[in-house]
Amino acid sequence: MPNEPVLALRGISKRFGAVQALTDIDLEVRAGEVVALVGDNGAGKSTLVKAIAGVGPADEGVVEWEGRPVQVSRPHDAQELGIATVYQDLALCDNIDVVGNLFLGREILRAGVLDEVEMERRSRELLQTLSIRIPSVRIPIASLSGGQRQTVAIARSMLGEPKLVILDEPTAALGVEQTAQVLDLVERLRERGLAVILISHNMADVKAVADRVAVLRLGRNNGTFDVKTTSQEEIISAITGATDNAVTRRKARNAEVAK
Amino acid sequence: MTTKIDETNGGDTEDVAPVAKDAVAAVDPRLLVRQEGFKGYLQEFGRKLRSGDLGALPVIVGIAIIWVVYQVKDDAFLSPKNLSDLSILIVGTGLISVGIVFVLLLGEIDLSVGSLSGLAASTMAVLNIRHGVPEVLAVVIALALGAALGALHGFFFAKIGVPAFVVTLAGLLAWNGLMLQVLGTTGTLDLDDDGFVQTLSSHYFSQLIAAYGAATVAVAGFFLAQFLGARRRKAAGVPSRPLSEILVRTGVLAVIAYAAAWRLNEYKGLPLALVIFVVVLLALDFVVRRTSYGRKVIALGGNVEASRRAGINVDLVRISVYALSGLMAAFGGIMIASRIGSASQQAGTGNLLMEAIAAAVIGGTSLFGGRGSVWSALLGMLVIGSIASGMALLGVANSVQYMITGAVLLAAVVIDSVSRRTQRSAGRG
């Protein structure tokens, strides 16, 4: 295959006590590709993301990174590989300014002292390359809108120069314009050749930016669809489990006959 | 903060989806950009005031009011002797309060500092007087003891997960008990009048040049740091402070520094204790604002989970902050013993703990974590010390003094809470 997957999951399973959260999950993401991970509540999306990010390692299955099997047992392992995760609850400090948040935990030092000038310069550069519009990089996160915070959180994940970015419900609590900003940013990540896993409930968002959609249902793969050739209804029926019933079978047969 | 905002906004507007294109102008119209120069500074100041970002203003106004009122009542208040005594009086509790500032930045509390300071002072005295340990070594051991016991609190809080309030409450009782044990039946141990510890509080740099020289070094150092910082920022193409603003700031500092030097020189000169206090303040202010450790402490006060995910070793930072609090408590205890000239069973009891916490809060450090400055220990102690010293001059009873200090503390917390709420609604919280 010319375009080898950056990340490939093979047969991932995860149990919590008596609950089988994930069963035999396969997933592939390639560079420059946005894969949407969709599913109903409790379908196992977050569990799968945690397995990839090293927060809650899988019980069984193989994680392949650029073709070789790897162990991701701690968040640190994932970061080493080049996997950046932006969680739903943002993980920013309200009381610190944009620059401080971008560089939190990896401050640039100059002779052992915080190099505010360099950090500010790089922050502006980073935000500019991602076309993120923030009124000022020196205002506390608390004064930013939800969409701006989300873009800061995503920009923050870019500092580690990752190859794969996982976005957990990035548009869940956002308004129309803010959602547009975030979706623009997702497209820019793809243009920069990154692999993106986008978790979303919003079919419109998924249709807008994703290349492929992987559906989880009750902890199992329930199909992977090409966004361009699949209708929203088909995806939704895969999510709700309505794929395999009389209506869809008739539809499929009719479609074949029509060909 | 200022000028070149359009840089970040200049990017590629062409390829943006139409939805965003209409909504985003070249410069974000919602941003209130500060004007260059002095006028812009005043506007910014007014806006900060309205949005509840008061900074050190209320407490400075408070100090001014207290001083004017006392001076009118009794003109001995602003006399060189009284001011010089005040500057030594605030050092011990002020040092303890500096440790409290760090704990408050975490959004936690340390109730043990009073007892810990008493324990450190009596340990130092017992080692020196009963066991003949040299004074300097005894001080070092006492400081190490303070840091170790503080780290112990931090361990129970960070690793075991016991609420800090309870851990340090236990410390308050236990270390007070241990201090009584250490002192034994003697009760009070008098320190050597000409010894190292007493000298810390009794020595004055009496040459005129000392105080003025220190003021000059402070002002020049401040100006140079600001000026070079601004030049570096300009060179890197990020917004910088205009020269006029730097000059104004330096001017304000110069007025305060030289006025203090003049008053101190009128009496015995520059007190060593004050020098120690200011040096500690400068050093720890640097730690908070300019090192990654300080950044971690503030981040923890803002959002623990975010800090953890950013790879900050939360437990280690917590333990170290409590160790620092213990260290500063021991240091403060020793300076108090040095001022009184003895270590007694009363050391570290009474309202010392309350004063140390109140000073940090009155000085403007938030009780809610993540917001504050090391300098609030100095400002807060100036308020509390001024009230006490003025009351003593006027011959007012302790009872009234406690009630007034209580009212001031309440006022400070009210300002903290209200400004926090206003900041929330102004989106700066």
Query: In this structure, are B248 and B368 located in the same domain?
Result: no
Cα A128 to Cα A134, B5, B28, B227, distances in angstroms: 10, 11, 14, 28
Is B255 buried (19+), middle (13-18) or exposed (0-12) by CB count in 10 A? Answer: exposed
Tell me if B15 is assigned to some domain. Answer: no
Count of domains for chain B = 2
Distance CA A206, CA A213 (A): 8
> Quick check: B7 and A180 CB within 8 A?
no
Asked whether residue B199 falls in the same domain as residue B123, the answer is yes
Instruction: Kindly compute the dihedral angle of the four CA atoms of residues A99, B52, B415, A96, in this order, to the nearest 10 degrees.
Output: -10
Question: Quick check: B263 contacting A, CB < 8 Å?
Answer: no
Instruction: Confirm whether B125 is domain-assigned.
Output: yes
Task: Report the CATH number at residue B184.
Answer: 1.10.3470
Asked if A45 contacts A199 with a C-beta cutoff of 8 angstroms, the reply is yes
Taking only the tens place, the pLDDT of each residue in B358-395 is 999 989 898 888 889 999 999 999 999 998 888 888 88
The DSSP H or E segment spanning B288 is: helix B272-290
Domain check: are B251 and B130 in the same one?
Answer: no
- The verdict on B8 touching A (C-beta cutoff 8 Å) is yes
In a domain, B426, yes or no: no
- pLDDT tens string B207-261: 889 999 999 999 999 999 999 999 998 888 888 888 888 999 999 999 999 999 9
Q: Where is pLDDT greater, at A92 or B147?
A: B147
Chain A residue nearest residue B311, CA to CA: A105
| B310–A104 C-beta distance less than 8 A | yes
Residue B8 burial (C-beta neighbours within 10 Å; 0-12, 13-18, 19+)? buried
Residue B129 within a domain: yes
pLDDT in tens, A95-107: 899 999 999 888 8
CA B290 vs CA A36, A257, B287, B376: distances in Å = 41, 72, 6, 17
Residue B9 within any structural domain of the chain = no
B-proximal residues of A, 174-213, CB under 8 Å: 176-177, 180-181, 183-184
> What per-residue confidence (pLDDT) applies to B3?
39
Answer yes or no: is B427 within a domain: no
Q: What is the pTM of this model?
A: 0.84
Quick one: pLDDT at residue A259? 64
Contact (Cβ atoms closer than 8 angstroms) between residue B379 and residue B364: yes
B157 in Cβ contact with B164 (< 8 Å)? yes
B5·A135 Cβ contact <8 A: yes
Domain match, B227 and B164 both: no
Structural domain includes residue B418: no
Task: For chain B, positions 215-234, list CB contacts with chain A under 8 A.
Answer: 229, 232-233
B144 and B280 in a common domain? yes
Phi and psi at residue A168, to the nearest 5°: -95, 105
- Cα dihedral sign for A79, A82, A87, A90? positive
B124 in the same domain as B217: no
Residue A29 has pLDDT above 70, yes or no: yes
With a cut of 60, say whether residue A229 has pLDDT above it.
yes
A74–B contact, CB cutoff 8 A: no
Which of these three, B250, B267, B284, is where a domain ends?
A: B267
pLDDT > 70 in chain A, percent: 94
pLDDT in tens, A123-152: 988 888 887 878 888 888 888 888 888 888
Q: Which of B267, B284, B312 is the last residue of a domain?
A: B267
The answer to whether residue B10 is domain-embedded is: no
Chain B residue with CA closest to A143: the answer is B427
Same domain as B350, residue B212 = no
Q: What is the mean pLDDT of residues B189-202?
A: 89
- Contact present, B96 and B356 (Cβ < 8 Å): yes
DSSP character string of B17-75: -HHHHHH--SS-TTS-PPPSHHHHHHHHHHHHHHTT--TTHHHHHHHHHHHHHHHHH-T
Beta bridge partners of B270: B205
Q: Is A95 close to B292, i.e. CB distance below 8 A?
A: no
Distance from CA of A100 to the nearest CA of B (A): 8
pLDDT tens digits along B4-29: 333 333 333 333 334 333 333 344 44
Residue with more model confidence, B398 or B154: B154
**Rounded-to-integer distance, Cα B304 and Cα A149, Å:** 17
B254 plus B314 within the same structural domain: no
- Asked if B358 and B341 count as a contact pair (C-beta separation under 8 A), the reply is no
Q: B128 and B228: one domain?
A: no
Domain that holds residue B235: 207-267
Q: Does B310 touch chain A (CB under 8 A)?
A: yes
pLDDT at residue A161 tops 90: no
The closest of B99, B157, B154 to B319, measured between CA atoms, is: B154
B345 with B212, same domain: the answer is no
User: Cβ of A183 and B11 within 8 Å?
Assistant: no
Euclidean distance between CA atoms A65 and B345, whole angstroms: 66
| B287/B174 same-domain check | yes
Dihedral of alpha carbons B287, B293, B298, B301, sign: negative
- Put simply, the answer to whether A109 touches B292 (Cβ < 8 Å) is yes
Shared-domain flag, residues B254 and B276: no
Last residue of a domain, one of B225, B245, B267: B267
The DSSP secondary-structure symbol of B192 reads: P
Pairing state of beta strands B189-190 and B342-343?
Answer: antiparallel
